[in-house]
Amino acid sequence: MPSHSFSSSKWLAPPIQTASFKSLLVIPILLSIATFAALFTHSDVDIALLWSQCHSRARIPGLSHIPLIGTPSCFLVSFFQCALDSLRSKAVMGVILAYVGALATVCTVESARRCNRSNTLIAKPTLWWLLFNLLGGAMVWQLVIVPAFLHRAKALVLAEEQSRGTGHEDSTVAAAAPEDASEEGRTLPDSEAVAIPIAVAAGYFLPSILMLVFNSPATITVWLFFPLYVSLVRQGVRYIVERIRRVSPTSIHHESHWQCVALVYALPIVLSVAAHIFVLWNLAQGDDRKKMTKLTVSFIEIDIQFIAWTVLYWVFVEAGWRVPLSMIATSILAGPGAGTIFGWLYRERLVKNGFADLFSIIEDEDNAAEERPLLG
């Protein structure tokens, strides 16, 4: 009876290399269904009363009296105001906001890469980030953001395979341009190394800190539109850098330069660690949350947990099991924001260097398997 040997490298290969794009979408769709079910199950009449109070214009008159958008705007602001109405809830929200800031950082970096310019959803993230923050929550990640990145990653893998003459076709994905699948495709304009950290700091973290500290309708309303500020500040800083520079613009792989890594990722990591320490300290204190605060914070926690599972699946598909495990381990020690950043740096190293080596290993093992005699 012939014996069959299976390549360990093939089994350890990221699913993006072996699975079809349609099959990769099954988990995000299931997660979106689970998100809806969990949030629906957790919904409470007290949360619905917030909407009724806004509809009757009994809450935040300055917002609730605005035609058409008054009631939903009032409800959204009131929801976050209730969620921040205690020291414990502020500690929890600090961790959540640090995590979202880390996601905003890495997504903004990805939007600037040359290989992602042809994908509008990735290259221009402002609209879907607004949709995420104002309306859809985790389901925007599961049905829009992550599928867009997986589609692009699959296109890059197909381009890499075709350049090696080992490509196969996927009826739902066209191969990317060969130059996008090269190391050059992972680069971004050098001005982005300055523009991105300033944009995220001024456009996201500053409004988030103001919201945590003051918890007023004004600061919450300002925070809700942070994707617009990130985009505008980024464009403005990039314009200034390009006008005052004395050297020719160039493209860089900023993860290959420790100065750029520190500039782009230091603030999200520091704030994640600070929020993590604060919430651990607060857990040792008494819980000062009221019923409505617990309800609203729990609602946000459920949504963020499903986003976290979706992100872990995303990086597992693109880079294998080591990256999500490293994210989880780092998150336990330094908070989910820091875990996301360190995991993303690890992912980028694998995407940039590991895939080409893995393709070579798989090809060598295929050749060895063809030459190996069958044992009867």
In this structure, the answer to whether residues 345 and 304 fall within a common structural domain is: yes
Q: Is residue 347 part of a domain?
A: yes
Question: What angle, 0 to 180 degrees and rounded to 10, lies between the N-to-C axes of helices 336-349 and 258-283?
Answer: 150
In this structure, the answer to whether residues 64 and 213 fall within a common structural domain is: no
In this structure, the answer to whether residues 202 and 275 fall within a common structural domain is: yes
In this structure, the answer to whether residues 206 and 353 fall within a common structural domain is: yes
Q: H/E/C letters for each residue in 58-119?
A: CCCHHHHCCCCCHHHHHHHHHHHHHHCCCHHHHHHHHHHHHHHHHHHHHHHHHHHCHHHCCC
Cβ distance 63 to 74 under 8 Å? yes
Q: Is residue 272 part of a domain?
A: yes
Q: Is residue 6 part of a domain?
A: no
In this structure, the answer to whether residues 136 and 229 fall within a common structural domain is: yes
CB neighbour burial string for 352-374, b if at least 16 within 10 angstroms, e if fewer: bebbeebbebbeebeeeeeeeee
In this structure, the answer to whether residues 211 and 242 fall within a common structural domain is: yes
- Residue where the block lists tokens 């040997």: 5
In this structure, the answer to whether residues 340 and 232 fall within a common structural domain is: yes
C-alpha to C-alpha distance for 241 and 248, rounded to whole angstroms:
11
Structure tokens at 50: 């917030």
Torsions phi, psi for 42 (to 5 deg):
-80, -15
pLDDT per residue of the chain (376 residues) written in tens, 0 to 9: 333 333 345 556 789 988 999 999 999 999 999 999 999 998 888 888 899 989 888 888 888 888 888 999 999 999 999 999 999 999 999 999 999 999 999 999 999 999 898 899 999 999 999 999 998 899 999 999 999 999 999 988 888 777 666 556 665 676 666 666 677 888 999 999 999 999 999 999 999 999 999 999 999 999 999 999 999 999 999 999 989 887 777 888 888 889 999 999 999 999 999 999 999 999 999 899 999 999 999 999 999 999 999 999 999 999 999 999 999 999 999 999 999 999 999 999 888 774 544 444 444 444 544 444 444 3
In this structure, the answer to whether residues 291 and 168 fall within a common structural domain is: yes
Bridge partner residues of 189 (DSSP): 251
In this structure, the answer to whether residues 72 and 215 fall within a common structural domain is: no
Measure CA of the first residue to CA of the last residue in the chain; give whole Å: 5
C-alpha to C-alpha distance for 266 and 314, rounded to whole angstroms:
23
Domain boundary among 33, 53, 83: 83
Residue-range definition of the domain harbouring residue 363: 13-43+87-371
Q: 231 Cβ partners below 8 Å, 6+ apart?
A: 126, 199, 203
Structure tokens at 268: 């999200």
In this structure, the answer to whether residues 69 and 206 fall within a common structural domain is: no
In this structure, the answer to whether residues 165 and 78 fall within a common structural domain is: no
Q: Under DSSP, is residue 19 helix (H, G, I), strand (E, B) or coil?
A: coil
Q: Is residue 236 part of a domain?
A: yes
In this structure, the answer to whether residues 32 and 174 fall within a common structural domain is: yes
Tell which residue, 131, 123, 127, has the closest CA to residue 107. Answer: 123
Q: Is residue 177 part of a domain?
A: yes
C-alpha to C-alpha distance for 370 and 106, rounded to whole angstroms:
42
Q: 250 Cβ partners below 8 Å, 6+ apart?
A: 189, 190
Phi-psi domain of 95 (left: phi exceeds 0; alpha: psi -120 through 50; beta: other): alpha
